[in-house]
Structure 1
Amino acid sequence: MPPPRPARTPLPPRWLLLALLLFALAAGIGLRDPSPPDEPRFVLAASAMVDSGDWLLPRRGREFYAEKPPVFMWMQAAAWTLVRDWRVAFLLPSLLAALATLWLVRRTGARLWSPRHGPWAAAALFVCLQFGLQAKRAQIDMVLVLMTTLSLCALLRYLLDGYRRRWLALGLFAAGLGTVTKGVGFLPVLVLLPWLWPGLRRRWPRRPGARVAGDAALGLAAFAAGAAVWLAPLGIALLRQPDPALQAYAHELLFRQTGTRYVNAWHHVQPPWYYAQVIATLWLPGALLLPWLLPAWWRRLRRGDPRHALLLGWAALVLLFFSLSPGKREVYIFPALPALCLAAAPLLPALLRRAGVQWLLSGWLLLCGALLLGAAGSGLSDADWATRLGGTRGIAPADMRAFLWALGALGAAAWALAAAFRGPRVGSGLLLFTALLWASYGLVLAPALDDSSSGRALMRDVSARIGVQGELGAIAWREQHMLQAGRPMQEFGFKQPLHLQWREAADWVAAAPERRWLWMPEPALGPCVDRGRARMIGHASRQDWWLVPGTAVDPQCQAPPFAGDID
Structure 2
Amino acid sequence: MHDVKRALLRSFWTPLALAALWLTATIGARPLALPDEGRYVGVAWQMLTSGDWLTPRLDGLPYFHKPPLFFWITAASLGMFGQHEWAARLAPLLGAFLGLGSIYLFASRWFSRRAGRLALLALATQPLFFVGAQFANLDMLVAGCITAAIAALAHAALLRPHGRRSHAALAAGYLFMGLGVLSKGLIGIVLPGLVLVSWLMLRGQWRPLLSLIWLPGIALFLLVVAPWFVLVQQRFPEFSHYFFVVQHFARYATGGFNNRLPAYFYPVVLILFALPWTAWMFVGARAGAWRDPERGAVRQLAWIWMLAIVAFFSLPESKLVGYILPAAAPAALLAADGFELLAARWARAALWWRGGAAAAVLACLAAVIAATALPRNSTRELGLALRRELAPVDRVMFLQAYYFDLPFYASMHSPAAVVDAWDSKEIGTRDNWRKELFDAARFQPALGRQLLLRPQDLQAGGCGGAVTWVVGSEGLQQHYPLLQGAEEVARQRDLRLWRVSAARSGISPPDCPGMPIANSADKS
TM > 0.5 between the two? yes
Q: 2:247 aligns with which of 251, 254, 257?
A: 257
Q: Name the residue aligned to 1:328.
A: 319
Q: Name the residue aligned to 1:185.
A: 188
Q: By how many angstroms is 1:44 displaced?
A: 1.9
- Alignment of 1:127 onto 2:53: no
Q: Residues 292-317 of structure 1: CA distance to partner in whole angstroms, max 9, x if unpaired?
A: 43742x53236682222222123222
Q: Name the residue aligned to 1:216.
A: 213
Tell me if structure 1 keeps the 8 A contact 2:463–2:505. Answer: no
Q: 3-state SS of the aligned residue for 1:332?
A: helix
Q: By how many angstroms is 1:168 displaced?
A: 2.8
* Residue 56 to residue 532, structure 1, CA distance change in 2 (3 Å): closer
Q: By how many angstroms is 1:14 displaced?
A: 8.4
Q: Name the residue aligned to 1:384.
A: none
Q: Distance in 2 between matches of 1:84 and 1:467?
A: 20
Q: Name the residue aligned to 1:481.
A: 406
Which stretch shifts more, 548-557 or 74-83? Answer: 548-557
Q: Distance in 1 between matches of 2:88 and 2:51?
A: 18
| 1:18-417 aligned within 5 A | 18=16, 20-162=18-160, 164=165, 166=167, 167-183=169-185, 184-186=187-189, 187-197=191-201, 200-201=203-204, 204=205, 207=207, 216-218=213-215, 222-223=217-218, 225-226=220-221, 228-239=223-234, 241=235, 246-267=236-257, 268-289=259-280, 292-293=282-283, 295-296=285-286, 298-301=287-290, 305-351=296-342
The residue type equivalent to 1:431 in the other structure is A
Q: 3-state SS of the aligned residue for 1:474?
A: strand
Q: Distance in 2 between matches of 1:434 and 1:226?
A: 37
Q: Distance in 2 between matches of 1:324 and 1:523?
A: 42
* Residue 316 to residue 523, structure 1, CA distance change in 2 (3 Å): farther
Q: Name the residue aligned to 1:456.
A: 380
Tell me if structure 2 keeps the 8 A contact 1:522–1:546. Answer: no
Tell me which protein shows more helix as a share of its residues.
Answer: 1
When normalised by structure 1's length, the TM-score is 0.69
The residue type equivalent to 1:138 in the other structure is A
Q: Distance in 2 between matches of 1:143 and 1:468?
A: 35
* Residue 120 to residue 85, structure 1, CA distance change in 2 (3 Å): same
Tell me if structure 2 keeps the 8 A contact 1:352–1:427. Answer: no
Q: By how many angstroms is 1:132 displaced?
A: 0.4
The count of residues paired between Structure 1 and Structure 2 equals 461
Q: Distance in 1 between matches of 2:153 and 2:397?
A: 51
Q: Distance in 2 between matches of 1:21 and 1:213?
A: 36
Q: 3-state SS of the aligned residue for 1:272?
A: coil
Q: Residues 190-247 of structure 1: CA distance to partner in whole angstroms, max 9, x if unpaired?
A: 133334436x22xx5x74xxx98675352xx6346335434323313433x4xxxx23
Q: Distance in 2 between matches of 1:526 and 1:149?
A: 53
Q: By how many angstroms is 1:29 displaced?
A: 4.0
* Residue 504 to residue 225, structure 1, CA distance change in 2 (3 Å): farther
Q: Percent identity?
A: 25
Q: Name the residue aligned to 2:430.
A: none
Q: Residues 237-273 of structure 1: CA distance to partner in whole angstroms, max 9, x if unpaired?
A: 433x4xxxx2334432222111110011312221111
Q: By how many angstroms is 1:279 displaced?
A: 2.0
Gap runs ≥5 in structure 2: 1-10, 419-436, 442-447, 510-524
* Residue 469 to residue 262, structure 1, CA distance change in 2 (3 Å): closer
* Residue 294 to residue 109, structure 1, CA distance change in 2 (3 Å): closer
Q: Distance in 2 between matches of 1:235 and 1:37?
A: 30
* Residue 330 to residue 299, structure 1, CA distance change in 2 (3 Å): farther
Tell me if structure 1 keeps the 8 A contact 2:233–2:239. Answer: no
Q: Distance in 1 between matches of 2:182 and 2:14?
A: 36
- Alignment of 1:431 onto 2:433: no
* Residue 15 to residue 172, structure 1, CA distance change in 2 (3 Å): closer
Q: By how many angstroms is 1:125 displaced?
A: 1.3
Q: By how many angstroms is 1:289 displaced?
A: 3.6
